[in-house]
Homo-oligomer: A and B are copies of this chain.
Amino acid sequence: MLRNRLIDGVRRLKPILCGGQSLRSLSNGATSKLTTIEVDDRSGIATLSMNLPPVNTLTMELMHDLIDSINQIESNKSRGLILTSSNDKVFSAGLDLNEMLNPEVERLRLFWTRFQDLWLALHLCCLPTAAAINGHSPAAGCVLATACEYRVMLPNLFIGIHATRFSFVISKWMMNSYQSVLPRRVVERALNQGKLFATQEALNVGLVDEIACSKEEALSKCAAFIATFDKTNPVARCLTKRMCREPDVRELLQDRAADLKECVDYVTTPLFQEGLCAHLEGLKKRK
């Protein structure tokens, strides 16, 4: 029951749940470079594109720019937010795994906190959100897509959280994004297998909502979804969305430090370091 706390947040027109105190200062006066925002003057919908070649790896910087852009779009009272990639092969390749290889603990803490911030900003964004998935979307790429309210995907791509394949154990809040769109039985099996779903499979289980033949069509389907909220009161919609998502974020918001500690403890085990090393070697060979 966080309606009151949320109302306060909405009243102040600044989501209280999205941390970001430090982020705002970081972004002071800076132009966002790794993301672009295009607002359609007619529809009022903002398209947020990840633009970090070659594969939109979620680096510290890209995550910063994403959070900054989400906050900016939210405060400009856009009618909705569409997340996409300026790269037609990869939506996002997921977290920057180099930050997890032999990490310096303080840097790792900053990196994970940034990812928590990004997920909270997108998962609790007051605006209607949709993902136009115009490229592969593995791991944290999939987490971002499932944090949106709607997903349209192009054919012949894959999407999924394949963390167990590189020895990683995701946090519960990441699982919750999966659980918010997939049946419980599918979630457990897919996470355990580290399954990557082809576009059609993803549609069949409900991981994506529609298939589109082109990026243009994907964007237009996302816009049509956002238009389904036209008759609703934006504040009531925002509070309702957050009520629905409150169980997903409750543990994280109550104890972010615990999640951070768990992550650091696990990432620094020899078990994970060896698994990650082998995975990165495999990726190099494939190139």
- Give the B-binding residues of A (Cβ under 8 A): 1, 3-4, 7, 128, 149-150, 163-172, 175, 179-185, 187-189, 191-194, 206, 228-229, 231-233, 235-237, 239-241, 243-246, 251, 255, 258-259, 261-262, 265-266, 269, 271-272, 275
A1's contact among B4, B233, B259, by CB below 8 Å, is which?
B259
Verify B169–A236 contact, CB threshold 8 A: yes
Nearest B residue (CB) for A275: B233
Nearest B residue (CB) for A252: B1
A-B contact pairs, 17 of them (CB 8 A): A1-B171, A1-B172, A1-B258, A1-B259, A3-B266, A164-B236, A164-B240, A167-B236, A169-B236, A172-B246, A180-B188, A188-B241, A192-B237, A192-B244, A193-B229, A194-B231, A233-B275
Verify B232–A175 contact, CB threshold 8 A: no
Verify B229–A163 contact, CB threshold 8 A: no
Given contacts A164-B240, A180-B188, contact A232 B169 (CB under 8 A): no
Complex CA distance for A80 and B248, rounded to whole angstroms = 31
Given contacts A229-B192, A229-B193, contact A235 B167 (CB under 8 A): yes
Verify B265–A7 contact, CB threshold 8 A: yes
Q: In the assembled complex, which residues on chain B have CB atoms less than 8 Å from the CB atom of A189?
A: 149-150
Q: In the assembled complex, which residues on chain B have CB atoms less than 8 Å from the CB atom of A175?
A: 243-244
Complex CA distance for A113 and B229, rounded to whole angstroms = 30
Verify A232–B179 contact, CB threshold 8 A: no
A241's contact among B163, B172, B192, B240, by CB below 8 Å, is which?
B192
A200, chain B: closest CB distance, angstroms: 18
Q: In the assembled complex, which residues on chain B have CB atoms less than 8 Å from the CB atom of A235?
A: 167, 271
Q: In the assembled complex, which residues on chain B have CB atoms less than 8 Å from the CB atom of A182?
A: 185
Nearest B residue (CB) for A179: B184
A165's contact among B171, B172, B231, B244, by CB below 8 Å, is which?
B231
Verify B172–A232 contact, CB threshold 8 A: no
Nearest B residue (CB) for A7: B266
Complex CA distance for A275 and B266, rounded to whole angstroms = 49
Verify A262–B169 contact, CB threshold 8 A: no
Of A150, A164, A181, A265, which is in contact with the most chain B CB atoms at under 10 Å from its CB? Answer: A164
A212, chain B: closest CB distance, angstroms: 18
A130, chain B: closest CB distance, angstroms: 11
Verify A4–B233 contact, CB threshold 8 A: no
